[in-house]
Amino acid sequence: MVGVFLIVLLSLGMVQLQQTQARNRAEQEMAQAGLLIEKLANTGLVSQKEDLQERLEKVKAEMTAEKSRLRQSLETIESCGDIYDIVGYSHVTIVRIESSAVTEAEIDGVKYSVLKVTVKASGTVADLVDFVSGLLEKYGTGVVMSAQINVPEEDDISGVDGESGDSEGTGDDQESSESPQLMITLMIYDYRGS
């Protein structure tokens, strides 16, 4: 019976040893799985954080660009408003105003902005000259890049009998095409700081 007892005891010892080994393996696998999960979670969070930071920087850059575009649009609107003020007292008619977006530049550490404005106007030659003078007075930092005044010849304005040279009729287009017209392009410079 001692022999059977020893066999049962050895069998129980073997089972307990196998269970202990299995428990140790399971604990090691669980620890490795926990580390792997933690590593994956951290890696996922880190990459997600990096993605969010990249998106944030992109949105900030877009916001800055939009602010700049908005400021440029407002400056362009202000310039057009000033031009219409000059039109009011110089008695010309605006045919067209075109302006570029405000650009930034720097020379020797001095920052400035540049706005290109092209205006086509009609009126008498004296009024057109008055209009140009008003522009140059208002925009002291403006530089005339080009200016052209088209003055129709007297024969084009009236016929021999003093009637209109155009026998088709007298429409509004005829009046604006018969009056002198000015096309002027200005570069307006504005100091932005050093």
Q: Is residue 108 part of a domain?
A: yes
Three-class DSSP category at 104: strand
**E strands, 86-172, in order:** 93-99, 103-107, 110-122, 142-150
Q: Is residue 11 part of a domain?
A: no
How many domains, the chain?
Answer: 1
The pTM for the full model equals 0.50
* CATH number of the domain to which 109 belongs: 3.30.70.60
pLDDT at 177: 55
For 186, other C-beta atoms within 10 Å of its C-beta total 24
pLDDT at 79: 65
Say which amino acid occupies 150.
N
Whole-number Å distance between alpha carbons of 30 and 34: 6
Q: Is residue 32 part of a domain?
A: no
Phi, psi of 49 (to 5 degrees): -65, -45
Q: Is residue 146 part of a domain?
A: yes
Q: What is the mean pLDDT of each run of 10 residues along the chain (194 residues)?
A: 70 80 87 81 75 86 68 57 86 88 78 86 93 88 90 63 42 57 89 61
Instruction: Quote the domain boundaries for residue 142.
Output: 68-156+173-193
Whole-number Å distance between alpha carbons of 79 and 85: 10
pLDDT at 67: 61
pLDDT at 131: 93
